[in-house]
Amino acid sequence: MNNLWIGMILLGIVYGAVTGNMQAVTDAAFASAKDAVTLCITMTGMMALWVGVMEIARGAGLIRKWSEKLKPFIHFLFPGIPKGHKVQEYIAANMIANILGLGSAATPAGLKAMEELAEIKKEKGLPEEVASNEMCTFLILNISSLQLIPVSVIAYRSQYGSSNPSAITGAAIAATLVSTATAVIFCKIKEKMTKDTF
């Protein structure tokens, strides 16, 4: 991927030099750098806000309550997790943050969940270099996650001057609903294949 980006940048510079548009290339580079810094500041502020909101929800016991409601779904997706294990709360927090479109706020809970899943894998005696079914399922669900409010995309659209940043919401719900349903079906098929193999 790095080689691809380097190749495209070099191709752009060479093309700019050959066509006599080096000034336009330089201007575009400076403008893009400025936009990138501005966007990073905006997204850092949003991340700080929503990570804080998730911590308040956790402290108020909301995450625990929501994770109780999600337990049947979590057990269906992750049958190998022992009942009552604390990883369920981390998975629930990650799912809730992703569903609300708070991808950045989902990261800390996601990392904790993966650490706990690695511990469960060790207890089962699986090799360190092999990911468990639960770890694979969690990663796939995290990537494909259903989003009811695509906060990050709305922020990007707002940053770049969209007249209606939230217009993307309906399309985002439809796309992520399909991707999540596909992910669940794929994970359950692969889980069955793994059981049949061993």
How confident is the model over 33-55, as pLDDT tens digits?
888 888 788 777 777 777 787 77
Amino acid at 126: L
Residue 17 lies inside a defined structural domain of this protein? no
* Cα dihedral 113→114→117→121 (10° resolution): -170
Range of the domain at 68: 37-197
CB 57 within 8 A of CB 63: yes
Please compute the mean of the pLDDT values over residues 90-101 and round it to a whole number.
84
Q: How confident is the model at residue 198 (pLDDT cuts 50, 70, 90)?
A: very low
CB 87 within 8 A of CB 117: yes
Amino acid at 120: I
Give the integer Cα–Cα distance in Å for 198 and 181.
26
Residue 15 lies inside a defined structural domain of this protein? no
pTM reported for the whole predicted model: 0.69
CB 89 within 8 A of CB 108: no
Q: How confident is the model at residue 11 (pLDDT cuts 50, 70, 90)?
A: confident
Counting the structural domains of the chain, the total is 1
Residue 55 lies inside a defined structural domain of this protein? yes
Burial 19-34 (b: 16+ CB within 10 A, else e): eeeeeebeeeeeeeee
Residue 171 lies inside a defined structural domain of this protein? yes
